Chain A
Amino acid sequence: MNFTAIVREAIDPAQVLSLIGADQDGATLLFLGVVRDHSDGRSVGGVRYETYEEMAAQVLSDIVEEAAEAADTDRIAALHRIGELEVGEVSVAIAVSTPHRAEAYEASRYIIEEIKKRLPVWKKERYSDGAEEWVEGRAPDAASAPQTDGS
């Protein structure tokens, strides 16, 4: 069974991996999005993620189902953390297991790219000098409806 969640607590990669995997799977892939210490030449101390939670839960589930269908697996876990995060903390975890590696890489890449296009989540960076700014994001368009072919 695929698993998706918008969470407030720290993401534990080992726990995410425990949600996937099966005897027929020869490939397990884990992607972690991590808060980095710089942005456009400025030193970043931390970030705050906000969300439209009900919609984000639905969109994340849609994205994972699209990837799962294309990769012919039901063993995907995807989590996005919101709230205050420090440098080095995990904001996103995507774990995929499939019989062969190619499908796992493809599904993982699809999920992170779609998250960046259409998950209703916003990021405010906190810089070392105390200033804060919303990160300029990408405008989702009305065509961001679920893609049935997962491409």
Chain B
Amino acid sequence: MYGPVEIRTLFFASYKELLGTGELQVDLPAGATVSDLVSALRSRGGAFTVLPSTPAVAVNMTYTDPAAVLSDGDEVALIPPVAGG
């Protein structure tokens, strides 16, 4: 009933090195959640399968639960364990 949602997906640090890219555009069906996005990424095969199944995720720069529903145009970052300080 609604078109797909386009998600701007960002990768940093070890994830960026692993995948060889810092950013991907991912199209998902309407109603897709954060964990659906992670599953879609992991199903691409190759290095993507090494991504954790439940990484920390920030949607539009806020840490977000895996069950959260995504909206068209969301910026979703997969956040490796942080090591600032």
Are the CB atoms of B77 and A121 closer together than 8 Å? no
Are the CB atoms of B84 and A115 closer together than 8 Å? yes
**Interface residues in chain B, defined as those with a beta carbon under 8 Å from any beta carbon in chain A:** 10, 12-14, 56-58, 61-66, 77, 79-85
Minimum distance in angstroms from A80 CB to a CB of chain B: 6
A133: nearest residue on chain B (CB-CB)? B14
Minimum distance in angstroms from B7 CB to a CB of chain A: 16
User: How many residue pairs at the A-B interface have CB separations less than 8 Å?
Assistant: 90
Are the CB atoms of B56 and A92 closer together than 8 Å? no
With known contacts A52-B58, A55-B58, A136–B81 Cβ distance under 8 A: yes
Are the CB atoms of B80 and A137 closer together than 8 Å? yes
Q: In the assembled complex, which residues on chain B have CB atoms less than 8 Å from the CB atom of A91?
A: 85
Q: How far is the CA of A141 from the CA of B82 in the complex (A)?
A: 11
Are the CB atoms of A122 and B83 closer together than 8 Å? yes
Are the CB atoms of B84 and A55 closer together than 8 Å? no
Are the CB atoms of B84 and A145 closer together than 8 Å? no
**Interface residues in chain A, defined as those with a beta carbon under 8 Å from any beta carbon in chain B:** 33, 49-52, 54-56, 58, 80, 91-92, 112, 115-124, 134-145
- Interface residue from B12, B65, B82 paired with A117 (Cβ < 8 Å): B82
A80: nearest residue on chain B (CB-CB)? B84
Are the CB atoms of A118 and B61 closer together than 8 Å? no
Q: In the assembled complex, which residues on chain B have CB atoms less than 8 Å from the CB atom of A124?
A: 13
Q: In the assembled complex, which residues on chain B have CB atoms less than 8 Å from the CB atom of A52?
A: 10, 12, 58, 61, 77, 79
Are the CB atoms of B85 and A112 closer together than 8 Å? yes
Q: In the assembled complex, which residues on chain A have CB atoms less than 8 Å from the CB atom of B10?
A: 52
With known contacts A134-B13, A134-B14, A141-B63, A120–B58 Cβ distance under 8 A: yes
Most buried by A among B12, B64, B66: B12
Are the CB atoms of B85 and A92 closer together than 8 Å? yes
Besides A116-B83, A119-B84, 16 other A-B contacts (C-beta < 8 A): A51-B12, A54-B61, A55-B77, A115-B84, A119-B82, A123-B84, A136-B83, A137-B81, A138-B83, A139-B56, A139-B81, A139-B82, A140-B63, A140-B79, A142-B56, A142-B57
